[in-house]
Chain A
Amino acid sequence: MKPHTDWLAHSILCTGVALFVLPLWLLLAGATQDGGAIARGELSFVPDLRNLGIFWSVLTDRAPGGSPVWRMMLVSAALALAIAFGKIVISFLSAYAVSFFRFPFRMLCFWTIFITLMLPVEVRIVPTYAVMANFGLINSFTGLAMPLIASATATLLFRQVFLMIPDELVEAARMDGAGPLRFLRDILLPLSAANMAALFVIVFVYGWNQYLWPLLVATDPKLDTIVIGIVKMIGGDTVTDWNRVMAAAVLALLPPVLVVVLMQKWFVKGLTEGDK
């Protein structure tokens, strides 16, 4: 390999990394500085290492007006996992049904599911709230998760994957006497494992980062997610401990970042295979 090419690649990638890491580094550095530094515009990129204890204290102390950060992170994790698993399971099943069967109103079903892509939760928040209230789901974990499970992205992705599966494979499975459920379990499930992993990453991050819907639908402070907890710490008419807000933001970033990084290989692979 020619050395000058290497240098070009390294310099471009380093610039890219700097663009993405520096803003987040500022968050980390800011957490260790004096809370008033931000209001005065004196934030520095150099962290004050003596104050690293702030992360532990934010994690374990009760946030103003709320529960401890670790508790809110558990709620966020539970919510993100519930949404991720719920979405993957129902989407996998429905994508299987529309791809491998012909049944009455098949395309109508598909389009009904598909159309959910076109209206974000924020726009239909008032009517959605009313529907949840009719079911008595306001202020419950189920109510928090359900409307966020109902979306079409995952169904679309699975359908794409299933369409790619050669007819010969289905034929062969049938020759072997495999019924539709065995085909689903023994062939489809292993084949789409990577796609499921990729979807898991996408949906977990989506669920973890929800804000407006949990804020409106949950009134029980025990159901506060970490994103809501952070907003609670930023006061309008009062002093805000910006260093604590930033420390909480760093902590809130860790789980989704871990999920993305740990599942990175699967993530890229799952998209490659679904996107050939």
Chain B
Amino acid sequence: MERRTIFAGWVLPVCLVAPQLLLTVFFFLWPAAQAMWFSLVRQDAFGIRTEFVGFENFADLFADPLYLDSALRTVVFCTAVAGLAMGTALLLAVFADREIRGRAIYRTLLIWPYAVAPAIAAVLWVLLLNPQIGVVAHALKSVGVLWDYKLNDTQAMIVVILASAWKQVSYNFIFFLAGLQSIPKTVIEAARMDGARGWRRFRTITIPLLAPTIFFLVVVNIVYAAFDTFATIQALTHGGPGKATETLMLKVYRDGLINLDLGSSSAQSVILMVAVVVLTGLQFRFIGRRNAE
């Protein structure tokens, strides 16, 4: 979508866009191009010996059943995190949007966890859920739950999903709240007059009006789940037991920064990048559509 009215001249806009463009070229494009080059070579960690291997790094990945498992697991993980984080946030936002006493306090208390650093959040979850030292783990054990995510795949997955979703709820909550507040009260009133009640009114009026926010958040949440959760997973489960909680980004991080396999790690990031380009492409089409409305 383009605006019809614009200012003339090109010297000024070029000057205005230059600072960001320069930063982007030097600190993003240049390193990113190098990362792409790394995906096509075999190199030792120090970059002393380099050998061009074409698409061998990619071929190795796609031939590895463990990598394909990781990909599938990542899809499940992202869906679960996005669904849980958005569902919880929407529920809380809908009720926080009602005319109830203490609304402002509820809102503040639900918004501020946005500020918690991922590094600190990870420590928190260890303190809560760790089978050995966790407070919640002790409580679960005392009511007879066999809590041991170090050896139980399902529990491990639940743990990393919960921890990852928790961090994202505040963010979603803010957007949903903003979205709900921008729905004209007259529309809701009109629906009420028509006799639409609670759930039906929510489903037929609120959800469609929130659709732009929902779709925007779907993309943001999936990108978050795919890229920004590896530190949490590393802190909680190291991707284990076995490979039960290893996501693609965790593997990129570990192969690149711990196992020092730059070639494979770069190839994996290129694959991820392509995936995100597709996703953001979808987001863009969507934003474009929204603007046309």
B121 to chain A, nearest CB (A): 8
- CB contact list, A59-107 vs B, under 8 A: 90-91, 93-94, 96-104, 106
Q: Which one, A151, A152, A209, contacts B118 given CB within 8 A?
A: A209
A104 to chain B, nearest CB (A): 6
- Asked if A97 and B257 make an inter-chain contact with CB atoms under 8 angstroms apart, the answer reads no
Residues on the B chain within 8 Å of A150, using CB: 20, 23-24, 26-28
Known: A96-B13, A112-B25, A163-B3. 17 other contacts (CB 8 A): A12-B92, A20-B110, A98-B13, A99-B3, A101-B6, A123-B253, A127-B38, A132-B27, A146-B27, A167-B4, A170-B3, A208-B115, A261-B111, A264-B108, A267-B111, A272-B181, A275-B213
B201 contacts chain A at the CB level, 8 A cutoff: no
Count of interface residues, chain B, beta-carbon cutoff 8 Å: 96
Residues on the B chain within 8 Å of A23, using CB: 124-125, 127-128, 166
- Asked if B212 and A119 make an inter-chain contact with CB atoms under 8 angstroms apart, the answer reads no
Residues on the B chain within 8 Å of A101, using CB: 6-7, 9-10, 12-13
Residues on the B chain within 8 Å of A269, using CB: 178
- Asked if B16 and A96 make an inter-chain contact with CB atoms under 8 angstroms apart, the answer reads yes
Closest 8 CB pairs of A and B: A103-B10, A256-B115, A127-B31, A101-B13, A127-B34, A97-B13, A209-B117, A150-B23
- Asked if B120 and A230 make an inter-chain contact with CB atoms under 8 angstroms apart, the answer reads yes
Which chain B residue lies CB-closest to A216?
Answer: B257
| A38, A93, A106 pick with most chain B CB within 10 angstroms | A93
- Asked if B110 and A17 make an inter-chain contact with CB atoms under 8 angstroms apart, the answer reads yes
- Asked if A16 and B88 make an inter-chain contact with CB atoms under 8 angstroms apart, the answer reads yes
Asked whether A38 and B133 contact (CB < 8 A) given A12-B95, A100-B3, A160-B287, the answer is yes
Asked whether A26 and B135 contact (CB < 8 A) given A150-B27, A230-B120, A275-B179, the answer is yes
Which chain B residue lies CB-closest to A126?
Answer: B262
A-B contact pairs, 28 of them (CB 8 A): A5-B98, A6-B101, A12-B91, A16-B88, A16-B91, A20-B110, A94-B16, A99-B3, A101-B10, A102-B10, A112-B25, A112-B29, A113-B21, A118-B280, A123-B252, A124-B34, A130-B34, A131-B27, A167-B5, A227-B119, A231-B119, A253-B115, A256-B115, A260-B115, A271-B178, A272-B179, A275-B182, A275-B213
Which chain B residue lies CB-closest to A245?
Answer: B123
Asked whether A120 and B228 contact (CB < 8 A) given A9-B100, A90-B19, A109-B17, the answer is yes
- Asked if B276 and A118 make an inter-chain contact with CB atoms under 8 angstroms apart, the answer reads yes
A267 to chain B, nearest CB (A): 7
A108 to chain B, nearest CB (A): 10
Asked whether A252 and B117 contact (CB < 8 A) given A30-B127, A123-B252, the answer is yes
Q: Mark A169-180, 1 if CB is under 8 A from B, else 0.
A: 011001000001
Residues on the A chain within 8 Å of B27, using CB: 128, 131-132, 146-147, 150
- Asked if A112 and B21 make an inter-chain contact with CB atoms under 8 angstroms apart, the answer reads yes
Residues on the B chain within 8 Å of A183, using CB: 7
- Asked if B20 and A113 make an inter-chain contact with CB atoms under 8 angstroms apart, the answer reads yes
A56 contacts chain B at the CB level, 8 A cutoff: no
Separation of A126 and B106 alpha carbons in the complex (Å): 43
B97 to chain A, nearest CB (A): 10
Residues on the B chain within 8 Å of A27, using CB: 120, 124, 127
Separation of A252 and B265 alpha carbons in the complex (Å): 33
B70 contacts chain A at the CB level, 8 A cutoff: no
B193 contacts chain A at the CB level, 8 A cutoff: no
- Asked if A253 and B32 make an inter-chain contact with CB atoms under 8 angstroms apart, the answer reads no
Separation of A245 and B30 alpha carbons in the complex (Å): 38
B186 contacts chain A at the CB level, 8 A cutoff: no
A193 contacts chain B at the CB level, 8 A cutoff: no
Which chain B residue lies CB-closest to A109?
Answer: B17
Q: Which one, A12, A19, A117, A211, contacts B166 given CB within 8 A?
A: A19
Q: Which one, A17, A147, A253, A268, contacts B178 given CB within 8 A?
A: A268
- Asked if A131 and B26 make an inter-chain contact with CB atoms under 8 angstroms apart, the answer reads yes
- Asked if A260 and B100 make an inter-chain contact with CB atoms under 8 angstroms apart, the answer reads no
Asked whether A180 and B7 contact (CB < 8 A) given A6-B100, A30-B127, A116-B28, the answer is yes
